[in-house]
Amino acid sequence: MITDTKTDSNFDVSTAEINKYDFRNEEKYIFKARKGLDEQIVHQISDMKSEPDWMRDYRLSSLKIFNQKAMPKWGGAIDLDFQDIYYYIKPSDQQGRSWEDVPEDIKRTFDRLGIPEAEKKFLAGVKAQYESEVVYGSLREDLAKKGVIFTDTDTAVREHPDLVRQYFSTVIPNTDNKFAALNSAVWSGGSFIYVPPGVSIEFPLQAYFRINAENMGQFERTLIVVDEGAQIHYVEGCTAPMYSTESLHSAVVEIIVKKHARCRYTTIQNWANNIYNLVTKRAVAYEDATMEWVDGNLGSKLTMKYPAVYMMEPGARGEILSIAFSSAGQHQDAGAKVVHAAPNTTSQIISKSISKNGGRSSYRGLVKVEDGARKSKSNVVCDALILDPQSRSDTYPYIEIAEQDVTIGHEASVSRIGEEQLFYLMSRGMSEAEASTMIVNGFIEPLVKELPMEYAVEMNRLIELQMEGSVG
Amino acid sequence: MISRTGEMTDTLKITNLHVNVADKPILKGVDLEIVRGETHALMGPNGSGKSTLGLAIMGHPGYEITSGSVELNGEDILEKDADERARSGVFMAFQRPVAIPGVKMADFLRHAATNIRRPDRKEGEDLIPMREFRKELREKMGQLKMDTEFARRYVNDGFSGGEMKRAEILQMAMLKPKFAILDETDSGLDVDAVKLASQSIAEIGREKMGILIITHHDKLLEHNIPDKTHVILGGRIVETGGPELAQELHQHGYDRIRAAHPEAAAEDDKMKVEAAAAG
């Protein structure tokens, strides 16, 4: 049964909207591992998934690396007790192929979040992950016939072992950072996508990640391989209800974009304000391939996320568009990383951040051009909008250039909502709150117009919710 | 006020208005009454307080009212924020409107028109239906000889001087205020553009508005013959006449006025020195 945190029948529409994502289900799980992290837990996860030995060994070696690695010394303050987290919760004993197969309470959760409706309207395939496991998955038949694989990563390990083994952990090794090591040890769920050469998927594929339990850690693992000349747009959304203690979301996303292929990965995250969102996302792009990250970060207590593109061969392109919105008690440490490892590679980073009610947004970005990556071009634009004097914005741009023959641009701006802009809009009948929202929506418009229509509407709506009560 | 036909006529009445900007007195007792349907011209040398009067009436937070009142049909609007003043029917076409990057003209106008037409609308409530709004917007843009592409541009962002002024007139046409203040809507426009602006304002004003035209020239007045012309000097209105006064000032400047009102002229000189010192 759905336990709504709001039971008052008189609450107004705006309150109901704010709480759209903030509802909890009673915990009815097939299996819930005990709290804490050690070899036994890792074995348990591997057992539950009946994994091949290579994956079990990989998990165990990753756990060792996790234990040895120090916490990152930069970014935000992480105050987490790793022994006070549930690392694995299995909500259902099977994955639904049709919506009817999904257990009733979970189905209602995703109904409330609008997932099946969205699928009917504009998606080519959907995965819905609840706690540790994907509970629902579908892919349009015509795409399956063309050889497209869209499944959860656990199933992929069982059903496409050669393909997974060929690419898994090649873009982000478990030694990359502490949280990548943690994910590698306890990962569960996530999407595996393979697009065969020349296949172009017109509609987006979508995954939806939902944390329900308190003190839960969600560690999905996504691997996308876009073969030569293929095209794909993948979209993910994430939400969780609000609890009094922190939960952890630590995903790893690896993407391989081969010659002449194109991949766009769009994320809109709207976590509750007590989620640590520590994610490693990286793509490699080969000859004339294009990789685009579109990344919207709302909510969470701390987000540390820097989608990366490594341009490995001539003509590769990387583009990263990111928005961060931070409010009271939130720190968004977000940015981007581009590595030019071949000649004639091009990258663009556009970052927009908004801080209000004492929130803190930081842009942290790296542009690296390796020796020999001649005629490479990179352009970075980061704009920050600060809504009140309590809020804060920082910019940490790192540039490492080992090649002379390159074109690098960097622009940064910080602005406050101007009195003149507010007055202008108010003189046209807009209330102060409406005027502020309009200015903020205008500020992020360059990113929003890149989103699929439904997401653009959702993004504007989320901004409006974030803006409520920000004035006066 | 009751008109000849016996119906209530809207009145904007400014009484003994004193306004400070950055703690410096700029307006020092302005009296002015406009009845809806009338056109008034407000003229005066640079820095004499013309724009200040407009911005103070509209409710700019940087303009501090130290005494006096601004009443719309007997109700003092000085306690109201700019949005409430706009919703009660007051409009100002700005001399230098600010850009709102990322906000499309059409979206902005749809929000504005909805709010003005439904003054009790709360944020988030329905807007004017899209079809109805588009039809009206296209019509008005046609009258102003504006390309429909204009509606998709961001508000004042990268607009030329002429485009900005036309956009302001378009807003006036869409919002149909009871009273409109036009702050140097002719400045920065070439002869043809001023002519078009003048005609457009006359056409829009025919829907019975009270109009206060702030200007240096008589060109904008060609199609908008003022019922009254006011001359402001040193922060006060020193003379009020008919259309011939506007013509005189346009042709001969302010020498006669300065000579006739030496105190106000001295006040005006003092304000200019202060303004120059302030940078």
> Is the Cβ of A439 closer than 8 Å to some Cβ of chain B?
yes
pLDDT in tens, B114-161: 999 988 887 778 899 999 999 999 999 998 889 989 999 999 999 998
CB B123 to CB A420 under 8 A? no
On the question of pLDDT at B88 being above 90, the answer is yes
B86/A419 CB distance under 8 A: no
Q: Give this prediction's pTM.
A: 0.79
CA separation, residue A34 to residues A215, A334, B138 (Å): 11, 32, 65
Residues 389-418 of A with CB under 8 A from B: 418
How many A/B residue pairs have CB atoms within 8 Å? 87
Say yes or no for a CB contact (<8 Å) between B59 and A427: yes
Range of weakest confidence among A236-250, A407-421, B14-28, B165-179:
A236-250
Tell whether domain B11-97+178-278 is in CATH 3.40.50.300. Answer: yes
Residue with token string 């807007």: B127
Q: What is the pLDDT at residue A210?
A: 77
User: Tens digits of per-residue pLDDT, A432-443?
Assistant: 989 999 999 999
Using CA coordinates, name the residue in chain B closest to A448.
Answer: B102
Give the pLDDT score at A1.
32
Pairing of strands B228-233, B236-241: antiparallel
H/E stretch holding A131? none
pLDDT of residue A298: 85
In degrees and rounded to multiples of 5, residue A312 shows phi and psi of -90, -25
**Given pLDDT bands bounded at 50, 70 and 90, which one contains residue A427?**
very high
Q: Ranked by mean pLDDT, which of A91-105, A335-349, B265-279 comes out on top?
A: A335-349
What chain B residue is nearest to A426 in terms of C-alpha separation?
B83
* Domain boundaries defined on chain B: 11-97+178-278
Residue B209 near residue B36, CB atoms below 8 Å = yes
Q: How far apart are CA A63 and CA A183, in angstroms?
A: 9
Percent of chain A with pLDDT over 70: 89
DSSP A211-251: --STTBEE--EEEEEE-TT-EEEEEEEEE----SS-EEE--
- List, for residues A250-303, the tens digit of each pLDDT value: 999 999 999 999 999 998 888 888 889 999 999 999 999 999 999 988 888 999
Cβ–Cβ < 8 Å for A384, A353: yes
Measured CA to CA, the distance from residue A45 to residue A210 in angstroms comes to 19
Is B100–A419 a contact, with Cβ atoms under 8 angstroms apart?
no
Count CA atoms within 13 Å of residue B236 on its CB side.
Answer: 14
Q: Give B123-170 as a DSSP string.
A: TTSPPSPHHHHHHHHHHHHHHTT--GGGGGSEETTT--HHHHHHHHHH
Which 156-185 residues of chain B touch chain A by CB within 8 A?
171, 175
* Chain B touched by A16 (CB under 8 Å): no
Please judge whether A428 and B61 are an interchain contact, meaning their C-beta atoms are less than 8 angstroms apart.
Answer: no
Question: Is pLDDT at A52 greater than 90 in this prediction?
Answer: yes
Give the model confidence (pLDDT) of B249-259 as tens digits.
Answer: 988 999 999 99
Q: A465 or A338: which carries more pLDDT confidence?
A: A338
Nearest Cβ partner for B100 among A431, A434, A442: A442
Alpha carbon separation from B79 to A472, B115, B262 (Å, rounded):
16, 19, 35
Q: Residue B46's pLDDT is what?
A: 86
Shortest distance, CA A430 to any CA of chain B (angstroms): 6
- Per CB-CB distance under 8 Å, the chain A contacts of B123 are 431, 433-434, 437
Query: Which of B58, B94, B103 to probe by mutation at the A interface, max A CB count within 10 Å?
Result: B103
